[in-house]
Chain A
Amino acid sequence: MLENKVKRVISFLSPTIIPILFIIFWDLAARKIGNNAILPQVTAVAKHFININDNIIGIGTIPKNILYSLVRVFIGYVLAIIVGLPLGLLMGYSRRVKGALNLFISLFQPVPAIAWRPLVLGWFGVMSVATIFNLDYGPTYAIMDNFKLSMIFLIFLSAFFPIWGNTMFGVSNVQEVLVESALVLGASKKDIFFHVLLPGAGPNIMNGLKSGLTAAWSCLVAAEMLPGSMSGLGYLISHAYELARMDVIVAGIICIGVIGALFDGIYSRISNKYFSWQRLVR
């Protein structure tokens, strides 16, 4: 009994050992260097999380900036799902559609989202959720104007490819014998799609959704460095850089990392719960 408890405590603590060592090492190094502009001390960074509601470097609190970033990622990500998922399903299902579109879409895949920045700025300028919905000037406008189309488009692009690609791969890799066994049971084309290909591709689709969110979140810093942005974690970091505030930069990086890891953890949970069959099939 006791042994089991000890084991459980150890397995709970073991993932924290390396981060703790890392923090100790970091603090030792920071004290040795003694220059906050090169490597800030742990306490200098930690104080941003302790006084979480302080207005940092004149651009609002950390939670407010996180919220703006999350909303941007969310909008771009949802758009990527709306476009990428059906397109991936269709292209995985129909060889003809795949033949017609695959080359074209694949051409864009290797281009990093940030390379689109100049073009995207040219297209969308300072258009934002506030301007496209023609909001009146006021507090709502001020908030909605933070969600620039250019930024959302870049996030959309980076999330689109993993979602689209994994979905297409998943559908076209469903075992033929499963399709055939449904056919001999009298399945229609619609049945094959909804009862064989879609669930069969489930694990890959989940994987695509997960990679898509990770990619979108990583793209955030780049997108938020676009002109016109006045908030968000990416902006926090680039603005802190201009002020040589290393402690703020590190705090921002920690936020990006922790939130990204949370996303990953949520998706892994869902995958394990609903799609364990793929791992367990012999």
Chain B
Amino acid sequence: MDNIVFKLNNIGKVYNENEKNELVVIKNLNLEIKENEFLCIVGPSGCGKSTLLRILAGLELPTEGEIYYRGKELKKPTKDIGMVFQNYSLMPWLTVEENIALGLKFQNAPKKKQKEIVDEHLEMIGLTKFRNSKPYELSGGMQQRVAIARSLANNPDVLLMDEPFGALDAYTRIQLQKELLRIWEKHKKTIVFITHSVDEAVYLADRIILMSKNKGAIEVDIQVDIPRIRDRANPRYAELNQQLLDALEELNKDE
């Protein structure tokens, strides 16, 4: 029981509830997310992936059903549930260093401790030289790395990531995937990760769910049984990839 991090009971999300043209994004969704699980969510654009993630973050309340985080109903965001957003979300007036320290500042961590943690994370994302730069002086990929470091510096229990590597080039993307797996294994976090790339999902996830545009229904929910570090040349890897691509295609046909 107690290794269930999130439990979603018949979650529903409707936008514009009062007006005539209400939009049912999610309906009757049930989901349990286990501790230490690396869960990837894939699905067509607009199927409600970000909406689901925002509900997990406590940024949005479901219009129906309940969501429990470690046994307690989730009502608002907490520092234990970190999130990396789809769009760049660094404070443009703060330096890289100050951005990474932001959560620690909110927690009133001692200055010395803040500096230690910031240094460690700057090192980890390889941006120590840029500690005094402002976000606009960095490339998109560098900014996203800072955003990830900012979440991790807060040492959250859960890390929610909304297409964090979407805007990166193939090489940086693969580097960051490896880095993320390393962090996940070392710090024993629960990660929920949205991606458009089936390959990325198969590389990263313990478990993949595929959402459809039909009220956010979970069409596929599979465990990935390939040992890590995963080899993209492994036949099982290719097989799983194909299976998911087929399922996605099937979903798009139904439209």
Contact = CB atoms under 8 A, between A and B. Distances in A.
Interface of A: 177-178, 180-188, 191, 195-196, 199-200, 202, 275, 277-278, 280-282
A141 to B, nearest CB: 47
A183 B59 contact: yes
Contacts of A199: 91, 93-94
B83 A184 contact: yes
B172 interface: no
A56 to B, nearest CB: 48
A277 B136 contact: yes
Interface in B213-248: none
A225 to B, nearest CB: 43
27 contacts: A177-B89, A178-B91, A181-B83, A182-B102, A182-B106, A183-B59, A183-B76, A184-B57, A184-B77, A184-B151, A185-B79, A185-B82, A185-B102, A186-B77, A186-B79, A186-B106, A195-B102, A195-B106, A199-B91, A199-B93, A200-B91, A277-B92, A277-B93, A277-B136, A278-B92, A280-B136, A282-B136
**5 closest A-B pairs by CB:** A186-B79, A185-B103, A181-B89, A183-B77, A184-B83
Interface in B156-179: 160
Residue from B59, B92, B134 with most neighbouring chain A CB atoms (10 Å): B92
A202 B92 CA distance: 11
B192 interface: no
A193 to B, nearest CB: 12
B187 interface: no
B89 A178 contact: yes
Contacts of A180: 59, 77, 83, 85, 89
B81 interface: yes
Interface in B76-123: 76-79, 81-83, 85, 87, 89-94, 102-103, 105-107
B107 A177 contact: no
Contacts of B59: 180, 183-184
Residue from B58, B77, B90, B134 with most neighbouring chain A CB atoms (10 Å): B77
B145 interface: no
A282 B92 CA distance: 10
A199 B94 CA distance: 9
Given A181-B90, A280-B136, 19 more contacts: A182-B106, A183-B59, A183-B76, A183-B77, A184-B59, A184-B83, A185-B82, A185-B103, A185-B106, A185-B154, A186-B77, A186-B103, A191-B106, A195-B102, A199-B91, A199-B94, A200-B93, A280-B134, A281-B136
B150 interface: yes
B55 to A, nearest CB: 13
Given A185-B79, A282-B136, A177 B85 contact: yes
Nearest to A282: B136
B93 A177 contact: no
Contacts of A280: 134, 136
Contacts of B102: 182, 185, 195
A182 B91 CA distance: 9
A178 B82 CA distance: 14
B150 to A, nearest CB: 7
A6 to B, nearest CB: 32
Contact of B106 (A177, A187, A275, A282): A187
Contacts of A282: 136
B67 to A, nearest CB: 15
B93 A184 contact: no
Contacts of B136: 277, 280-282
Nearest to A199: B93
A251 B105 CA distance: 55
Residue from A181, A199, A202, A281 with most neighbouring chain B CB atoms (10 Å): A181
Nearest to B80: A186
A202 B93 contact: yes
A177 B87 contact: yes
Contacts of B85: 177, 180-181
Residue from A178, A183, A186, A195 with most neighbouring chain B CB atoms (10 Å): A186
Contacts of A275: 93
Contacts of A191: 106
Contacts of B105: 195
B202 to A, nearest CB: 27
Contacts of A178: 89, 91
B93 to A, nearest CB: 5
A24 to B, nearest CB: 45
A187 B58 CA distance: 13
A188 B76 CA distance: 11
A185 B150 contact: yes
B50 to A, nearest CB: 11
Nearest to B140: A282
